[in-house]
Amino acid sequence: MIDLNFKYKTLLNYVNDQMPFYPEISLILGSGLGEFADKIKIVKSIKTEDIPNYPKSTVQGHKGFLHFAELFNKNILVFQGRIHLYEGYNIDQAIIPVFIAKELKTKYILLTNAAGGVNLNFNPGDLMLTTGFLAHNIKKELTDVLSLPTAEQRKNILNLPSKEFNEIIKKAALEENVFLQQGNYWFNSGPTYETPAEIKMQSKFGADAVGMSTVHEAFFAGVNGINVSAISLITNYAAGLSPQKLSHQEVIETAELAKEKFERLVKRIIKLV
């Protein structure tokens, strides 16, 4: 068990000294979705490279910023760029954004990501609301950062993703006329995309989408009683489901095409929380 408050004391002190307000809702922007941060009123930006012990973003499409922003009179914390395990970081580093959001007493966390579509009804450009997380292959690492001492915390994990938050997200999608697929997000550690054989297995085991992030963030938030949910932008057919070769470039290009509806949806969610 890692004592995050001890390990990241200087990091937290730095953010605490700079922050203009406590955020009601926090967002982590996934691959290719970082531009959302340009569409809201930024009150204060902190470069992650200036924060002591904050891991460096090494992936294209992931800038390193924490933005304190405002929209519809709501205080928001936006992480532009996330920390992936496949970059070589440990689990306690990968959950730092959620840890910060938790320490700043956020009530809602919306995790966004780019993912491969496993469900044959999904097409690149679709948005998927997560209705379940498949995380068996990260449970061991999670024990380093999750302690479940109280009955309350053990119960929280069952409300993952938050039912209340998912209802808000569905309502926002209806109001914005954005079609939302729904399904289970399966975590793969990467760093490579999956093999077609892995996708075949994961499909049989209930995966609708696959990606390399989000699940540990969601568990950490959920255990700590935060309303957490996730939206995936399906950027490609998962390995073996189409003749096309997977590439990070394809992920970025599809994100570009879908960003307008993604932005409308996220703004409406912020309005409704």
Which residues contact ligand HPA by CB under 6 A? 114-116, 188, 193-194, 210-212, 235-236, 238, 246, 251
- Measured from the CB atom, the residue of 132 and 225 that comes closer to ligand HPA is 132
- Measured from the CB atom, the residue of 251 and 258 that comes closer to ligand HPA is 251
| Distance of closest approach, residue 254 Cβ to ligand HPA, in angstroms | 9
Buried b (16+ CB within 10 A) or exposed e, 94-116: bbbbbbbbbbbebebbbbbbbbb
The residues that are catalytic are 31, 62, 84, 86-87, 114, 212-213, 236, 248
Q: How far is CA 105 from CA 22, 47, 247, in A?
A: 7, 21, 37
> Quick one: which of 56, 51, 95, 54 has its CA closest to 221?
95
Using left for φ > 0, alpha for ψ between -120 and 50, and beta otherwise, residue 36 falls in alpha
Length of the chain: 273
| Distance of closest approach, residue 58 Cβ to ligand HPA, in angstroms | 16
Instruction: Name the strand (E) or helix (H) holding 131.
Output: strand 127-134
- Measured from the CB atom, the residue of 166 and 254 that comes closer to ligand HPA is 254
CB 83 within 8 A of CB 94: yes
Cα 213 to the chain's mean position, in Å?
7
- Measured from the CB atom, the residue of 115 and 218 that comes closer to ligand HPA is 115
| Bridge partner residues of 192 (DSSP) | none
Two structure tokens written together for 39: 């569409």
CA max distance for the chain: 51
- Measured from the CB atom, the residue of 69 and 210 that comes closer to ligand HPA is 210
Q: Which residue is nearest to ligand HPA (CB)?
A: 116
| Distance of closest approach, residue 129 Cβ to ligand HPA, in angstroms | 17
| Bridge partner residues of 126 (DSSP) | none
- Measured from the CB atom, the residue of 160 and 210 that comes closer to ligand HPA is 210
> Quick one: which of 210, 189, 193, 251 has its CA closest to 34?
251
| Distance of closest approach, residue 256 Cβ to ligand HPA, in angstroms | 14
| Distance of closest approach, residue 221 Cβ to ligand HPA, in angstroms | 20
SS (H, E, C) 82-105: CCCHHHCCCHHHHCHHHHHHHHCC
CA distance 9 to 6: 5
Token pair 């006329």: residue: 177
| Distance of closest approach, residue 251 Cβ to ligand HPA, in angstroms | 5
